[in-house]
Structure 1
Amino acid sequence: MKARRTEAKAVSVLALGGAGLMLAGCASMPTRGEVRPVSATQGADSQVRVYGVPPAPNASPSEIVGGFLEAMTSDDPQLSTARQYLTAEAAKSWKPGSKVTVLSSGLGRSPEKPDKLDKQPEAPRFKLTGDKVATVDERNAYQPEPGGVPFEQHLQLVREGNEWRISELPDGLVLSESDFQRIFLPVNKYYFASGTLVADPVYVRQRTDPDSRMDKMTQTVQSLLDGPSKWLGPVVSSSFPTGTALKEGTKSLSYDAQNTLRVPLNDKADNVAEPQCQKMATQLMYTVRDLTSSRVARVELVRPDKSVLCGVDESLAASIANRVPTPRHQYYIDQHKLLRVSLPSDPEQSFEQAVPVGGPLAGAPQLKVGTAAVAYEEKRAGVVSEDGHSLYTVSLATGGPLPAPVLTSRVKNGLSAPSWDGRGDLWVADRDPQNQVLWRIPGGTGTPQRVDVAGLDGRRIEELRISSDGVRIALLLSTSGARKELYIGRVERPEATGGGKVAVRELRPAAPQMADVTAMSWAPRGRLLVVGRESEGVMQARYMQADGSMVAGSLPGANGLTEVAASEDEKQPVVAYSDADGIVWLPPGAQWRTVSAGGSAPVYPG
């Protein structure tokens, strides 16, 4: 039960198959858990809805403030009840959709000058306080605040007629984490980087937006048309011409009986060529596909005169999206050899026996493999020697002698595990205390290039994983102590930024809830799978959005996991290393299964 519910109660409505059950008081909502997609069409809604209560006659200033804060957390589509606590002028000017401030818990409130409140009843003023953990900006992007920062705002009250009302207040909403997760839905919108689709995570309201009056699918599409988030914007682009928007008056989008979604646009896109139009439709296809209970089979863009501009089906969109191929194998190291396991077509089927990879590694007993990464096409591998001194790029398809190392560290255990991006570049960190460097090896065999990482502030890169799209890199950073924190940086390349060297910019916390992170991997839909522990908590494995927000419950039985890998194909099992059981698999919807009692360092291609 949330605090401060006594001054202004809320009404919850639980809809069951269209029948409503009215519940007085507040609703207890889960603070964690995967948000499941629902149909874009209007149907029965089984979620609890919370509505505020209008101000009572002759309510005191304190009751007005409490009632307004309660109503601000309600599911009232236009927040009309919350506006009843405002003066007529403030109700018209308030823009609750402009931003969201997320607090770790509820708001504290107090009269700014309690000793003078009774002496100055004509102008009471209240101070709101809390610990801010994140904000959501005007482009729906989530920005975490690591460790929380103090929050303070003020509400001014005046007499309007014979009643107290709020006359001055900041724009936007202020919500606790639990209310935020109940009201808002995490979605990905998609943009292009070097011909590959890149996920840009944002949050939209589960129901009608109070400012635009759009449903959640329409909000998501409009957010896509508005452009990428500020953080990702420098390295991605949209195929939609500048100024493209939904046709005026569009508040709801739905698909027909053939699962075709038609999106009406304004005239800014009327004359685009077919290839560009198909890229626009592909961005839409991937953006809306997780918002519906049944998969959208086709997306069509429609001109203002209702003629079809172009359309794409799933097959054409997949070819335009240029995503990395589905993995055929999973890999791990056993007795300093790189082994591979064929992935069954059905994850519930028995897995095959692991076999050594081919190529020079098969005939190189002198090389003891410590860590490895396999390129997405599964024809090459980057392997680091067991002593951490040398990085090799080897073929897995053709034999021959072991090539010379492409990179060497001066110190033992200097090189981290390598990682491939979908462009065919190999990334590795040299942890030499005297010369810490993030390296990129173009094409896996080119001259190593030093990558500038802004914002390290003395921290050391312990591990890294580059995203398949090549525009984000996950870095596990440590200070002089043993604690490790996970950050994501934006990868800026010369072709995207107009010159200069490849660099990593604007590090941001990727798992701010975790006090210590042990392992991580990129996962489906641009997410991260993170193994770690919250402050004074147990070890757990959780999915995180790339923006640092938590969107799913923990995986079962995560205690004891020290390494983890996930495929971008969500049909494939999570693979991990457990101190007790060795290499283990977690098929979707199942329990952990042992693959090999021996072995370590499990990886998927990437």
Structure 2
Amino acid sequence: MTRISRLCTALGIAAAVVLGGSGCTVIAPNGPYTVNNDEGAGDPLSKPFQRMIAIPPQPGWGAEDTIRGLQAAMAAYADDPSILAGYLTPEARAKWTAAGPVTVIQDQYEVSVPPPRESETSSKVTLKGHYLALINEDDSYKPTGGPWERPFELVKLPEGYRVSALPPGLLLTESDVARAYRPTNLYYVNRSTQDRLVVDRVRLRLDTKETFAQTVLERLLEPPTEALRGAVTTSFPPGIKIESIRSGEDRVIINLSGELDTLDLSAEETLRGQIRNSLNKNEIAKGRIIEIMVDGESYTVDRPDTVDQWLDDDVRDSAYYVDKGAVHYLTKDGGGGAVAGAAGEEHEGFGHFAVSAGPNPLIAAKTSTGISVAGLAPEGAWQEVVQGADLTPPTWNRDGTLWTYDGKNGVLLKYDPARGQAEPVEVPAELDELDVNRFRIARDGVRVAVTTGENTVQIGALTGEGAGTKLGNLQLLTTTETGNEIKDIAWRDDEHLLVLAQGTAGQTLNEINVGDGETTGVPLKDRLESVAAFQDQVLADVATKGGTKLIVLSPDQQTWTTKIEKKGGAPLLPLG
């Protein structure tokens, strides 16, 4: 095949049509490119996107063109499954299924075709690329990495090459996913306290037959991803369906069908909270009245000025730091006075402090013999509440309980100040075999970050409720190279974990979205000792010759400024 004919073949493999536009864009040989589309941008319920149009295999195509066409047909499969079937032999078509995880690779991939032999009727082709992620059947996005390859066997029929066997699932490129999927936050309810919404991040495929608002709410009616199974619940009773979603000048009208208790005001408020945040946090219907109907009858109305306490952490503006074992308030101008009670007095051997939330916070500290707690009041005295020489630094849950992991005995302990005793909590069996050195509960009271060994961070969840609470759903979040060390972690918000790592080349501070692994690096100038965070506020301490200075990250996340020049160690923020 000549260069010109090969180019024409590649150009014809696929096209991206901008929905709402008047024409189509031909895909270049090196893969799809993004076409800006402003059509539909004024619709508060939709998201503009490009639709992939694939064409059937052509008789003149070689093995490489057929494989590239097959991949384009996979990208278009959700909109038109008939094209992909044409690339397969009848036997392969009968066995193949689209079910299973979606494999995502980089845009630039190689199709390796062996030299043809005379009278050969089949060809073994290998597709090689770089592995990026899996989109699981529960819509969770799991990043991965490294080289990736897949062999294909093609047979030559009178009508052209056909694939004789295809592994289950779809193979998409990074551009395919960017074009057809949207990162989406869904909101479920904390199972244990049922006073807080918990975010579940998914990748949803845009549907040409419905608005994005309907796609989001339809998925909200389904169970959460595996990461939150057993840890969250929902206000939607079984059997509820989305009948229609309409938008007016100032409102969005959602019509449900099914059985809803019109007298349960708590369930009504929770349902509004789930819908409001699942739409508005994804920039859908923001600033509009949301009217919810059931079988055409008015059920409840959510207004833009509604006070939303479903994401409230009760953290306020409280910030602290530690100097010579004494806890101090942090003010807008810098260092403040010591806190009331024993926690504000200098103590040797007290470290790894943690602060609870609420109007009457407690301070916890790790010592050589266990975990001690003191109230922030003049009469507040240190009291050892958990004993053990190999405990992780304490962490507070939003329900007021204190947690630590006993590495010597392989036991997760929960101390409830109201009960006055520490109780064991069930953990996955594999945790007993790992060196657990940090255990941090997120402010949603559900997600947990666990560091094991020197260089691995896992994310889990507190599942169940009451006496049945246990740690589960552990999944790898990140790991550093051998020889590097994770120095500290801090929850910035319910979705993002800050990970401070020390390597031979220096330090890195990464903000990682625990839902999909998206990572953003934070620039560093000084060598940090520890880090604390709450939403826009990120604090760290730096050891200097003159003492320990406390620094704060700028709102643009690019620079650090000094808050306390010296005597400003170990910053603290409630929870996290």
The 1:14/1:94 distance shift into structure 2, 3 A limit, reads same
Question: C-alpha distance in 1, partners of 2:321/2:99?
Answer: 48
Q: Note if contact 1:27-1:48 (Cα within 8 Å) is conserved in structure 2.
A: no
1:374 equivalent in alignment to 2:355: yes
Q: Note if contact 1:425-1:443 (Cα within 8 Å) is conserved in structure 2.
A: yes
Aligned to 1:33: none
Aligned to 1:278: 269
- Aligned to 2:321, the other structure's residue is in SS state strand
Aligned to 1:574: 538
Question: C-alpha distance in 1, partners of 2:380/2:242?
Answer: 59
Q: Note if contact 2:326-2:347 (Cα within 8 Å) is conserved in structure 1.
A: no
The 1:84/1:536 distance shift into structure 2, 3 A limit, reads farther
Aligned to 1:136: 135
The 1:381/1:172 distance shift into structure 2, 3 A limit, reads same
Indicate which of 216, 226, 229 corresponds to 1:230: 226
Question: C-alpha distance in 2, partners of 1:77/1:563?
Answer: 47
1:283 deviates by 0.7
Alignment of 1:403-442 (within 5 A): 403-410=382-389, 414-431=390-407, 434-442=408-416
Aligned to 2:373: 393
Moved more, 285-294 or 20-29: 20-29
The 1:81/1:110 distance shift into structure 2, 3 A limit, reads farther
Q: Note if contact 2:45-2:211 (Cα within 8 Å) is conserved in structure 1.
A: no
Residue-by-residue CA offset, 1:63-117 (whole Å, 9 max, x unaligned): 111223245457x983679648636989999876864223478656556xx6998
The 1:448/1:44 distance shift into structure 2, 3 A limit, reads closer
The AA in structure 1 aligned to 2:528 is L
- Aligned to 2:319, the other structure's residue is in SS state strand
The 1:110/1:214 distance shift into structure 2, 3 A limit, reads farther
Q: Note if contact 1:583-1:597 (Cα within 8 Å) is conserved in structure 2.
A: yes
Indicate which of 427, 435, 445 corresponds to 1:453: 427
1:261 deviates by 2.9
Q: Note if contact 1:392-1:407 (Cα within 8 Å) is conserved in structure 2.
A: yes
Aligned to 2:3: none
1:63 equivalent in alignment to 2:75: no
- Aligned to 1:64, the other structure's residue is in SS state helix
Indicate which of 473, 484, 487 corresponds to 1:518: 487
- Aligned to 1:354, the other structure's residue is in SS state strand
Alignment of 1:354-373 (within 5 A): 354-362=336-344, 364-366=345-347, 369-373=350-354
Residue-by-residue CA offset, 1:450-485 (whole Å, 9 max, x unaligned): 23321225222211211223222111111xxxx321
1:341 equivalent in alignment to 2:330: yes
Question: C-alpha distance in 2, partners of 1:143/1:323?
Answer: 28
Q: Note if contact 1:544-1:552 (Cα within 8 Å) is conserved in structure 2.
A: yes
- Aligned to 1:448, the other structure's residue is in SS state strand
Aligned to 2:364: 383
Aligned to 2:37: none
- Aligned to 1:456, the other structure's residue is in SS state helix
Question: C-alpha distance in 2, partners of 1:562/1:48?
Answer: 47
Question: C-alpha distance in 1, partners of 2:524/2:55?
Answer: 43
Q: Note if contact 1:55-1:64 (Cα within 8 Å) is conserved in structure 2.
A: yes
Indicate which of 566, 571, 576 corresponds to 1:602: 571
1:462 equivalent in alignment to 2:430: no
Question: C-alpha distance in 2, partners of 1:513/1:429?
Answer: 22
Aligned to 2:524: 557
The AA in structure 2 aligned to 1:573 is Q
TM-score by length of 1: 0.76
Question: C-alpha distance in 1, partners of 2:539/2:444?
Answer: 22
Question: C-alpha distance in 2, partners of 1:105/1:538?
Answer: 32
1:119 deviates by 4.7
- Aligned to 1:291, the other structure's residue is in SS state coil
The AA in structure 2 aligned to 1:279 is T
1:180 deviates by 4.0
**% of aligned pairs identical?**
21
- Aligned to 2:60, the other structure's residue is in SS state coil
The 1:165/1:401 distance shift into structure 2, 3 A limit, reads closer
Q: Note if contact 1:573-1:586 (Cα within 8 Å) is conserved in structure 2.
A: yes
Aligned to 1:220: 216
Question: C-alpha distance in 1, partners of 2:325/2:507?
Answer: 28
Q: Note if contact 2:200-2:228 (Cα within 8 Å) is conserved in structure 1.
A: yes
The 1:563/1:297 distance shift into structure 2, 3 A limit, reads farther
The 1:322/1:152 distance shift into structure 2, 3 A limit, reads same
Residue-by-residue CA offset, 1:177-208 (whole Å, 9 max, x unaligned): 57545653322211112312111221113x44
The 1:25/1:419 distance shift into structure 2, 3 A limit, reads same
Could you tell me which runs of 5 or more consecutive residues in structure 1 were left unpaired when the two chains were aligned. Answer: 31-37, 343-349
Indicate which of 467, 473, 482 corresponds to 2:448: 473
1:389 deviates by 2.8
Question: C-alpha distance in 1, partners of 2:570/2:508?
Answer: 18
Could you tell me which runs of 5 or more consecutive residues in structure 2 were left unpaired when the two chains were aligned. Answer: 1-5, 35-40
Aligned to 1:308: 298
Alignment of 1:17-32 (within 5 A): 24=28, 26=30
The AA in structure 2 aligned to 1:542 is N
Structure 1 or 2: larger strand share?
2
Moved more, 177-186 or 516-525: 177-186
